[in-house]
Amino acid sequence: MKAHGLKGGIKLELYTDEPNERFVPGAVFSLQVPSGTRWHGKTIELAELRWYNAHPVAFFKGITDRSEAESLIKAILWIDQDPTQLPTEDDAWYDHQLVGLAALRDGIRVGTVARVDHLPAQDLLAIGTATGEVLVPFVKAIVPAVDIAGGTVTLTPPVGLFEEIPDEPADATDEADATDAPAETAGAPAGTAPPQASADPEQ
């Protein structure tokens, strides 16, 4: 979200297919903001949603000037969802349905879905693992299955996404050359001292 105009308007980025049903006067939203900020743990009520050049701009009760609006920059709005109401599209889920699911790779748990990041290019699943957070593109090729009832998401990530790629092994040709080297160039036999100089047959 970011401020719009001088009267407390806030430009929104919408991640819903039903803005006219979600953003109605009187709708109350929970705020996702960093802890310690003045808005943490609070809710705001929508007064009106307007459209300017195809961009949605929201006006909330109690936010009447630009200064107040700017205090909500980058906040995320959440609205309570009826748990019995599910998306009507195939392969579509609400964020709250995905958060907390166990992430499985080859049947082994590698982490837990911590959140869903909505980016312009694609959505990402943030997977919390024992070694940190991994961002997984939320596409069919990498996340082939979501089992809400079973509490899991199945991942088929490319090599290197969840682990470091090992160094390339030594060149097989180099190893073969070292193996085939003449015995005299391989060093002195164990238990003997190497010669300090070569013999001169003419002396």
* pTM listed for this prediction: 0.46
Q: According to the model, what pLDDT value does residue 39 have?
A: 76
Q: According to the model, what pLDDT value does residue 136 have?
A: 92
Q: According to the model, what pLDDT value does residue 22 have?
A: 75
Angle at 54 between CA 79 and CA 22, to 5 degrees: 15
d(CA 25, CA 77): 15
Residue-range domains of the chain with CATH = 2-78 (2.40.30.60), 95-155 (2.30.30.240)
Q: According to the model, what pLDDT value does residue 89 have?
A: 54
Residues 6+ apart with CB under 8 A from 89: none
User: Distances in Å between the alpha carbon of 84 and those of 29, 87, 97, 129?
Assistant: 19, 10, 12, 30
d(CA 142, CA 104): 11
Q: How confident is the chain (203 residues) per 10-residue block, as mean pLDDT?
A: 67 73 82 77 85 84 82 74 50 84 93 87 89 90 92 90 64 52 45 41 41
Structure tokens at 109: 């748990």
Q: According to the model, what pLDDT value does residue 43 have?
A: 85
